Amino acid sequence: MIKKILLTKTGYTFFIRDLSQAYHTKEGFIKKADLKKNNVVIKTNKGEEMFILEPTFVDQYKKIKRGPQVILPKDIGTIITETGINSQSVVLDAGGGSGSLSCFLAHLVKTVYCYEIRPDFVKIIEENKTQFDLKNLEIKNQDVIKKIDEKNLDLITLDLPEPWHVLPHVEKALKPGAFLVVYLPTITQVIQFVAEVKKTKKLFYLKTLENLQRHWVVDDKIVRPEIQMLGHTGFIIVARKVVK
Amino acid sequence: MIKKILLTKTGYTFFIRDLSQAYHTKEGFIKKADLKKNNVVIKTNKGEEMFILEPTFVDQYKKIKRGPQVILPKDIGTIITETGINSQSVVLDAGGGSGSLSCFLAHLVKTVYCYEIRPDFVKIIEENKTQFDLKNLEIKNQDVIKKIDEKNLDLITLDLPEPWHVLPHVEKALKPGAFLVVYLPTITQVIQFVAEVKKTKKLFYLKTLENLQRHWVVDDKIVRPEIQMLGHTGFIIVARKVVK
Amino acid sequence: MIKKILLTKTGYTFFIRDLSQAYHTKEGFIKKADLKKNNVVIKTNKGEEMFILEPTFVDQYKKIKRGPQVILPKDIGTIITETGINSQSVVLDAGGGSGSLSCFLAHLVKTVYCYEIRPDFVKIIEENKTQFDLKNLEIKNQDVIKKIDEKNLDLITLDLPEPWHVLPHVEKALKPGAFLVVYLPTITQVIQFVAEVKKTKKLFYLKTLENLQRHWVVDDKIVRPEIQMLGHTGFIIVARKVVK
Amino acid sequence: MIKKILLTKTGYTFFIRDLSQAYHTKEGFIKKADLKKNNVVIKTNKGEEMFILEPTFVDQYKKIKRGPQVILPKDIGTIITETGINSQSVVLDAGGGSGSLSCFLAHLVKTVYCYEIRPDFVKIIEENKTQFDLKNLEIKNQDVIKKIDEKNLDLITLDLPEPWHVLPHVEKALKPGAFLVVYLPTITQVIQFVAEVKKTKKLFYLKTLENLQRHWVVDDKIVRPEIQMLGHTGFIIVARKVVK
- For chain C, the average pLDDT equals 96
CB contact under 8 A, C221 and B188: yes
C40: pLDDT strictly greater than 70? yes
Of residues A221, A227, A230, nearest to D227 (C-beta): A230
Of residues B54, B187, B218, nearest to A177 (C-beta): B54
For the stretch D16-31, pLDDT in tens is 999 999 999 999 999 9
For the stretch D145-186, pLDDT in tens is 999 999 999 999 999 999 999 999 999 999 999 999 999 999
Instruction: Among C232, C233, C236, C237, pick the best mutation site for testing chain B contact (most B Cβ within 10 A).
Output: C232
Lowest mean pLDDT among A32-46, A53-67, A203-217, C23-37: A53-67
pLDDT at residue A223, rounded to an integer: 98
Cα–Cα distance, D44 to D31 (Å, whole number): 7
Q: Which chains touch A (3 or more CB pairs under 8 A)?
A: B, C, D
Contacts of B188 in chain D (CB under 8 A): 191
Q: What is the bridge-based pairing of β-strands A174-184 and D137-140?
A: unpaired
**Among candidates D175, D202, D64, D205, which has minimal Cα distance to D110?**
D175
- For chain D, the average pLDDT equals 96
- Chain B residue with minimum CA distance to C225: B232
Contacts of D53 in chain C (CB under 8 A): 176-177, 242
Cα–Cα distance, C168 to C170 (Å, whole number): 5
Rounded average pLDDT over D84-113: 96
pLDDT at residue A68, rounded to an integer: 63
Question: Most distant CA pair in chain D: distance in Å?
Answer: 67
Give the model's confidence band at C1: pLDDT under 50 very low, under 70 low, under 90 confident, else very high.
Answer: confident
Cα–Cα distance, D66 to D44 (Å, whole number): 31
Contacts of A108 in chain B (CB under 8 A): 80, 86-87, 108
The alpha-carbon gap from C218 to the nearest alpha carbon of chain B, in Å, equals 10
CB contact under 8 A, C213 and D215: no
Contacts of B56 in chain A (CB under 8 A): 84, 177-178
Of residues A187, A225, A227, nearest to D224 (C-beta): A187
For the stretch C41-81, pLDDT in tens is 999 999 999 999 999 999 999 988 877 678 999 999 999 99
Instruction: Among B72, B213, B215, B232, pick the best mutation site for testing chain C contact (most C Cβ within 10 A).
Output: B232
- Chain C residue with minimum CA distance to B234: C224
With a CB cutoff of 8 Å and minimum separation 6, the contacts of C168 are: none
CB contact under 8 A, C211 and D211: yes
Give the model's confidence band at B68: pLDDT under 50 very low, under 70 low, under 90 confident, else very high.
Answer: low
Cβ atoms B180, B156 nearer than 8 A: yes
Residue A183, classed as helix, strand or coil, is: strand
CB contact under 8 A, A190 and B218: yes
Cβ atoms B3, B23 nearer than 8 A: no
Cα–Cα distance, A204 to A178 (Å, whole number): 11
CB contact under 8 A, A188 and D226: no
From chain C, which residues contact B within 8 Å (Cβ)?
185-188, 210, 214-215, 221-233
Of residues C186, C229, C233, nearest to B230 (C-beta): C229
Residue A92, classed as helix, strand or coil, is: strand
B195: pLDDT strictly greater than 90? yes
With a CB cutoff of 8 Å and minimum separation 6, the contacts of C204 are: C197, C239, C240, C241, C242, D7, D51
Residue D86, classed as helix, strand or coil, is: coil
- Bridge partner list, A58: none
Cα–Cα distance, D98 to A17 (Å, whole number): 49
Of residues A188, A222, A231, nearest to D226 (C-beta): A231
- For chain A, the average pLDDT equals 96
Cβ atoms C27, C8 nearer than 8 A: yes
B67: pLDDT strictly greater than 90? no
Indicate left, alpha or beta for D147 from its phi (over 0: left) and psi (-120 to 50: alpha): beta
pLDDT at residue D1, rounded to an integer: 84
Instruction: Among A184, A186, A187, A192, pick the best mutation site for testing chain C contact (most C Cβ within 10 A).
Output: A187
pTM score above 0.90: yes
Of residues D221, D225, D233, nearest to A232 (C-beta): D225
- Chain D residue with minimum CA distance to A221: D188
The alpha-carbon gap from A220 to the nearest alpha carbon of chain D, in Å, equals 9
Instruction: Among A81, A205, A213, pick the best mutation site for testing chain B contact (most B Cβ within 10 A).
Output: A81
Of residues D215, D221, D231, nearest to A229 (C-beta): D231
CB contact under 8 A, C224 and B215: no
Rounded average pLDDT over C26-36: 95
Contacts of D191 in chain B (CB under 8 A): 188
From chain D, which residues contact A within 8 Å (Cβ)?
185-188, 210, 214-215, 221-233
Size of interface B-C (CB pairs under 8 A): 58
CB contact under 8 A, A210 and B216: yes
**Among candidates B34, B33, B173, which has minimal Cα distance to B91?**
B173
pLDDT at residue C70, rounded to an integer: 85
Of residues D82, D177, D213, nearest to C211 (C-beta): D213
Instruction: Among C193, C224, C226, C228, pick the best mutation site for testing chain B contact (most B Cβ within 10 A).
Output: C224
Q: Which chains touch B (3 or more CB pairs under 8 A)?
A: A, C, D
CA distances from A6 to A16, A45, A51, A52, B177 (A): 8, 15, 6, 5, 11
The alpha-carbon gap from C153 to the nearest alpha carbon of chain D, in Å, equals 14
Reduce the secondary structure of chain B to three states and give it as a string. CCCEEEEECCCCEEEECCCCCCEEECCEEECCHHHHCCCEEEECCCCCEEEEECCCHHHHHHCCCCCCCCCCHHHHHHHHHHHCCCCCCEEEEECCCCCHHHHHHHHHCCEEEEECCCHHHHHHHHHHHHHHCCCCEEEECCCCCCCCCCCCEEEEEECCCCHHHHHHHHHHHEEEEEEEEEEECCHHHHHHHHHHHHHCCCEEEEEEEEEEEEEEEEECCEEEECCEEECCCCEEEEEEECCC
- Chain B residue with minimum CA distance to D209: B231
**Among candidates B74, B57, B65, which has minimal Cα distance to B97?**
B65
Contacts of C188 in chain A (CB under 8 A): 191
From chain B, which residues contact D within 8 Å (Cβ)?
187-188, 191
Contacts of C56 in chain D (CB under 8 A): 84, 177-178
Cα–Cα distance, C164 to C173 (Å, whole number): 15
- Chain C residue with minimum CA distance to D87: C87
Give the model's confidence band at B129: pLDDT under 50 very low, under 70 low, under 90 confident, else very high.
Answer: very high
Of residues C210, C229, C233, nearest to B231 (C-beta): C229
Of residues A210, A223, A232, nearest to D188 (C-beta): A223
- Please report the ipTM that was assigned to this predicted complex: 0.96
Q: What angle do CA A204, A209, A213 make, to 5 degrees?
A: 155
**Among candidates C29, B233, C51, C229, which has minimal Cα distance to D206?**
C51
Contacts of C223 in chain B (CB under 8 A): 186-188
Rounded average pLDDT over A123-136: 95
Give the model's confidence band at A154: pLDDT under 50 very low, under 70 low, under 90 confident, else very high.
Answer: very high
- Chain A residue with minimum CA distance to B178: A56
Contacts of B53 in chain A (CB under 8 A): 176-177, 242
Cα–Cα distance, B243 to B230 (Å, whole number): 38
Size of interface C-D (CB pairs under 8 A): 174
Contacts of D211 in chain C (CB under 8 A): 74, 211-214
